[in-house]
Amino acid sequence: VGAGGDDGGRGAAKTGGGFDIVVEGDGFLYRQVRLMAGTLAMVGMGLADSRVVQRALDSPSFAERGPTLPPGRLVLEHVEYD
């Protein structure tokens, strides 16, 4: 997810009844994307300060992160390989 509004078309966007969160990387840990989405959801609902996102990125501890979202509402739409 890009910072400062310059994300090259990636990031989070409101669509219909929810949000699209675009995540790019060359590998992810088990439940990592669900954990990132949970942290963003907490910020979006006003239950956490937006600075928690930067602290979560900077911290090796899981203590700074939001909840792991259940998989039922998350959808993987696209995968690219080089």
Predicted confidence pLDDT, tens digits, the chain (82 residues): 333 333 444 555 566 667 778 888 888 888 888 888 888 888 888 998 888 888 888 877 767 677 888 888 778 888 888 7
Q: Distance between CA atoms of 19 and 57, rounded to whole angstroms?
A: 21
First to last CA, the chain: 20
- Produce one character per residue of 23-53: b if its CB has 16 or more CB atoms within 10 Å, e if not: eeeeeeeeeebbbbbbbbbbbeeeebeeebb
Yes or no: say if 55 and 18 are a contact pair by the CB < 8 Å rule: no
Does the pTM surpass 0.75? The reply is no
